[in-house]
């Protein structure tokens, strides 16, 4: 063979290889679900499938449990996130056809990897599984795990309790958003093996409202056995909404739309946009804010409160991480510049409305001045609102688990944001980017310096160890003991993490004199 001919053949082979590679890149990895095949894309060595349908369009079944999707032929593209549930404020596409999930996996090889199903926050009212902070590439690669995020029905579409106003087909209306999550977990059980995951080793975890939904699932009989470990990040729910209050809210919402309580069928048929606009209606029971919709203790889907009067025994065998941030309320109250320039005279009036626990503001302020004489009025404000509003629910969850001998590990995040002059510190939601190790993602305020990387390594490795074994202990952190009474051992995450028994004990005791009910209960 001549040199020229060899060169021509080599060039042809190279062209063919390039074309084949390009075609493969366009085609992407393909996985088979029980409903049909889906095509994803590879990112940094991780196979990514976005917008995988796990349920049918909910619009025809508004306020009712969703149906599984219709099977499809061919290969469905899973290259873009699906729509989020309709909500007041979002830059994403929204639709009642919102039952989609996203999967990140190292390989489609039949290996049984731990599965980590993340439930997004947003107070049951907003959000989706497509936030850049939840991107699962780094977590999947770091831990050789399969990561799943989920969209589901929210606000009035997911949690409007109409059982007392409509027909028997609306008995579950106050929890259809949670039933969407059950359907997603059933999809994981039935399909995740095709994505390299182990359906027998599923961790459900979430932050804020997402963590609250996880603890609610722990008390729902229909969710039993669908996940094997649980982790909450500032997911403080102890109580759900009662059915009487939930009915008052449903009536108020209908009145805002010009409907009588007996016109539920009209409510079912109204354009989604009108329902979204009515979400601005003032809440008829709370002293501030717009109308609330979230999980309802309906006696059926949710037969009891998540953590009242005790920890649910149906999930007592499930290992659990319970975490919070040191400066939770700086996320909610730090947007008002006045809160950073308070005087001692102004503080009692500003503090009272922000407390959930009913303790006299002047008594609270006096005790904080004893405990922390160097604190400014603004520092007392943020510390007391955190301890008297956001922290108690986490403590109750851990205490109730300890009382029934259920395994739990408690953490407190002390490492704070170095951005914006450090004024937000370890605010509510700050731990998301650290656990996912997405420090540079849009929305992260961790920075990408050595300290942030050190904390991210510790937190992500601990969560990954927990997903693998049901125990967060690993080489990246000090020995993490279980939360037991009266010791209250807690991992305090910082650049150098450490175990602390009963951190902020005096603050805990200050507010322990008053009962805690989740706002809106």
What residues are labeled active site?
A: 208, 328, 428
Contact 131, 207 (CB under 8 A): no
Give the bridge partners for 154, in sequence order.
none
Give the bridge partners for 206, in sequence order.
119, 232
**Nearest-CA neighbor of 66 among 102, 99, 100?**
99
For the chain, count helices (H), then strands (E): 16, 14
Euclidean distance between CA atoms 448 and 453, whole angstroms:
6
What number of CA atoms fall less than 13 Å from residue 252's CA on the CB side?
19
**Nearest-CA neighbor of 228 among 303, 151, 320?**
320
Contact 133, 207 (CB under 8 A): no
Euclidean distance between CA atoms 399 and 311, whole angstroms:
9
DSSP for 71-93 reads P-SSEEE-BSPPPBPP-SS-SS-
Three-state helix/strand/coil letters over 92-127: CCECCCCCEEEEEECCCCCCCEEEEEEECCCCCCCC
What number of CA atoms fall less than 13 Å from residue 16's CA on the CB side?
6
Q: Give CA 326 to chain center in angstroms.
A: 18
Placement of tokens 């929890």 in the chain = 175
Euclidean distance between CA atoms 518 and 521, whole angstroms:
6
Termini Cα distance of the chain: 84
Residue 219 is given by DSSP the state: T
For residue 176, what are the CA distances in angstroms to 61, 161, 300? 10, 9, 12
For residue 333, what are the CA distances in angstroms to 94, 362, 496? 28, 20, 28
């Amino acid at each position: 063979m001549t040199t020229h001919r060899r060169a021509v053949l080599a060039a042809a082979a190279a062209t063919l290889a390039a074309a084949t590679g390009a075609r493969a890149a366009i085609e992407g990895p393909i996985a088979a679900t029980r409903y049909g095949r889906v095509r994803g894309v590879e990112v940094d060595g991780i196979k990514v499938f976005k917008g995988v349908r796990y349920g049918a369009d909910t619009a025809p079944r508004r306020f009712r449990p969703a149906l599984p999707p219709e099977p499809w032929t061919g290969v469905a593209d899973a290259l873009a996130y699906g729509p989020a549930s309709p909500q007041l404020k979002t830059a994403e596409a929204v639709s009642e056809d919102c039952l989609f999930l996203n999967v990140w996996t190292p390989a489609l090889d039949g290996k049984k990897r731990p599965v980590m199903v993340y439930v997004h926050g947003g107070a049951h009212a907003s959000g989706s599984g497509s936030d850049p902070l939840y991107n699962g590439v780094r977590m999947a690669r770091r831990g050789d795990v399969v990561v799943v995020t989920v969209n589901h029905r929210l606000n009035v579409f997911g949690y409007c309790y109409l059982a007392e106003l409509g027909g028997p087909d609306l008995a579950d209306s106050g929890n259809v958003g949670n039933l969407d999550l059950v359907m997603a977990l059933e999809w994981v059980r039935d399909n995740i093996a095709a994505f390299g995951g182990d359906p027998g080793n599923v961790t459900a975890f979430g932050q804020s409202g997402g963590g609250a939904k996880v603890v609610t699932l722990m008390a729902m009989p229909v969710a039993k056995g669908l996940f094997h470990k649980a982790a909450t990040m500032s997911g403080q729910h102890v109580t759900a909404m009662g059915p009487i209050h939930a009915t008052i809210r449903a009536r108020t919402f209908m009145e805002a739309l010009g409907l009588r309580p007996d016109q539920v069928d009209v409510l079912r048929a109204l354009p989604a946009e009108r329902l979204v606009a009515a979400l601005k209606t003032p809440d008829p029971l709370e002293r501030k804010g717009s109308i609330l919709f979230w999980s309802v203790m309906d006696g059926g889907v949710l037969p009891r409160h998540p953590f009242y009067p005790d920890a649910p025994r149906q999930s007592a065998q499930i290992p659990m991480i319970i975490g919070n941030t040191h400066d939770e309320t700086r996320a909610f109250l730090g947007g008002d510049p006045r809160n950073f320039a308070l005087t001692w005279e102004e503080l009692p009036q500003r503090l009272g409305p922000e407390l959930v626990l009913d303790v006299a503001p002047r008594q609270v302020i006096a005790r904080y001045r004893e405990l922390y004489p160097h604190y400014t009025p603004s520092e007392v404000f943020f510390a007391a609102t955190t301890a008297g509003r956001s922290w108690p629910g986490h403590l109750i969850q851990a205490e109730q688990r300890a009382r029934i001998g259920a395994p739990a590990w408690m953490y407190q995040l002390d490492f704070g944001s170095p951005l914006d002059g450090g004024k937000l510190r370890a605010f509510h939601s700050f731990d998301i980017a650290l656990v996912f190790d997405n420090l540079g993602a849009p929305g992260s305020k961790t920075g990408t310096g050595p300290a942030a990387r050190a904390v991210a390594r510790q937190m992500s490795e601990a969560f990954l160890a927990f997903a693998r074994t049901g125990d967060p202990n690993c080489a990246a952190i000090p020995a993490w003991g279980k939360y037991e009474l009266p010791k209250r051992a807690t991992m305090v995450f910082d650049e150098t993490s450490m175990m602390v028994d009963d951190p902020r004990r005096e603050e805990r005791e200050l507010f322990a004199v008053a009962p805690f009910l989740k706002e809106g209960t």
